[in-house]
């Protein structure tokens, strides 16, 4: 390489470095917190028929529930209003990744999810339960369900599916698009039971007491429930949500929101098993 070519190479390399150095600054997107404050909108994933978290009045289209109250409180502290985006338990992680929502409630922080999104500290801790169809023996342990002849219905992509496959790998497990379809499979006898978080199971059986029975198999399986957000370098939004979650949980406000959310399906504190804590 002659001196002229060498100088040209150095110049091109320098230009490339300069372009690389400036690219992140030019390509950097506004942080979630800054965008919420600027636009005055907090986009929240909501899920139909998932009391006490979410309840949609089909006649009026109005939303209520524990997570709606939580979202309104968070938005008020950010000087924003809530924009509700309908989703499912399985899709709300994708909605976060796809920048369709800024916040997803009741997200269990699994290692796999931690690779693609971020989390606040826990809102509360839940127990996993089983809804059995009429006539199906109420299981005392997860091992009793771990048999090929046992048919378990779960919603695809949820922690319900994760627990079923982890503790009942020998069972015949069927995945459905959402939890309503999984419950329908139990109601119609296509499945023997459904694995769900306790708060969802309690409200489901209150709405449809003829569906079956609630079981809390041993060992008692619990998992924290957090708020999910997009992963980003700016930690202010995450730190704010974590402080908000810790504050309201310690004061008992989270429990009050949950009990109020249960009112939509006429569930009182006395209807909730002692093992179910929030």
pLDDT digits (tens, 9 = 90+) for 83-92: 999 999 879 9
Contact 185, 132 (CB under 8 A): no
pTM above 0.75, yes or no: no
Q: What is the pLDDT of residues 218-262, one digit of tens each?
A: 999 988 999 999 999 999 999 999 999 999 999 999 999 999 998
Helix (H, G, I), strand (E, B) or coil at 91: coil
Contact 129, 197 (CB under 8 A): yes
- Spatial separation of the C-alpha atoms in residues 250 and 5, rounded to whole Å: 68
Residue 23's pLDDT is 37
- Residues pairing with 214 in the sheet: 131
Kindly tell me if the per-residue pLDDT of 5 is higher than 60. Answer: no
| Sign of the torsion angle spanned by Cα atoms 182, 187, 189, 193 | positive
Residue 8's pLDDT is 37
Structure tokens at 98: 């796809």
Contact 192, 150 (CB under 8 A): yes
58 pLDDT tier (thresholds 50, 70, 90) = confident
Count of beta carbons in the 10 Å neighbourhood of residue 192? 24
Kindly tell me if the per-residue pLDDT of 7 is higher than 70. Answer: no
Could you give the C-alpha distances from 21 to 8, 9, 24, 89, in angstroms and in order? 20, 18, 7, 39
Kindly tell me if the per-residue pLDDT of 6 is higher than 80. Answer: no
- Spatial separation of the C-alpha atoms in residues 24 and 2, rounded to whole Å: 34
Q: pLDDT averaged over the chain?
A: 88
């Amino acid at each position: 390489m002659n001196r002229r070519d060498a100088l040209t190479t150095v110049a091109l390399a320098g230009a490339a470095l300069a372009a690389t150095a400036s690219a992140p600054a030019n390509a950097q997107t506004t942080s979630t917190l800054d965008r919420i404050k600027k636009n005055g909108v907090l986009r929240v994933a909501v899920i139909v028929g998932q009391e006490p978290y979410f309840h949609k009045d089909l006649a009026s289209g109005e939303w209520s529930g524990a997570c709606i109250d939580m979202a309104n409180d968070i938005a008020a502290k950010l000087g924003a209003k809530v924009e509700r985006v309908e989703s499912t338990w399985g899709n709300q992680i994708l909605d976060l990744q796809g920048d369709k929502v800024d916040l997803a409630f009741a997200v269990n922080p699994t290692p796999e999810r931690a690779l693609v999104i971020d989390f606040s500290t826990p809102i509360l801790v839940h127990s996993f339960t089983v809804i059995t169809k009429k006539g199906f023996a109420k299981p005392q342990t997860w091992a009793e369900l771990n048999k090929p002849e046992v048919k378990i219905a779960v919603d695809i992509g949820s922690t319900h599916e994760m627990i079923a496959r982890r503790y009942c790998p020998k069972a015949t497990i069927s995945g459905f698009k959402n939890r309503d379809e999984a419950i329908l499979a139990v109601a119609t006898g296509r499945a023997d039971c459904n694995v769900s978080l306790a708060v969802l199971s309690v409200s489901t059986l209150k709405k449809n007491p003829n569906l079956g029975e609630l079981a809390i198999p041993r060992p008692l399986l619990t998992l924290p429930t957090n708020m999910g957000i997009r992963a980003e370098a700016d930690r202010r939004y995450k730190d704010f949500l974590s402080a908000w979650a810790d504050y309201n949980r310690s004061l008992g406000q989270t429990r009050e929101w949950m009990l109020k959310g249960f009112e939509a399906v006429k569930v009182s504190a006395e209807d909730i098993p002692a093992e179910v804590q929030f």
